[in-house]
Chains A and B, each alone.
Chain A
Amino acid sequence: EVQLVESGGGLVQPGGSLRLSCAASGFSFSDHYMDWVRQAPGKGLEWVGRSRSKVNSYTTQYAASVKGRFTISRDDSKNSLYLQMNSLKSEDTAIYYCARVEGRGAGYMDVWGKGATVTVSS
Chain B
Amino acid sequence: SVLTQPPSVSGAPGQRVTISCTGSSSNIGADYDVHWYQQLPGTAPKLLVYDNNNRPSGVPDRFSGSKSGTSASLAITGLQPEDEADYYCQSYDSSLSALVFGGGTKLTVL
Contact = CB atoms under 8 A, between A and B. Distances in A.
Q: How large is the interface on B (under 10, 10 to 19, 20 to 34, 35 or more residues)?
A: 20 to 34
A17 B102 CA distance: 29
A102 B39 CA distance: 19
A108 B98 contact: no
Q: How large is the interface on A (under 10, 10 to 19, 20 to 34, 35 or more residues)?
A: 20 to 34
A109 interface: yes
Interface in B62-110: 86, 88, 90-92, 96-104
A45 B101 contact: yes
B36 to A, nearest CB: 9
Given A106-B92, A110-B56, A115-B44, A44 B50 contact: no
Given A44-B101, A45-B101, A109 B47 contact: yes
Most chain A CB atoms below 10 A, which of B32, B50, B97, B98? B98
A26 interface: no
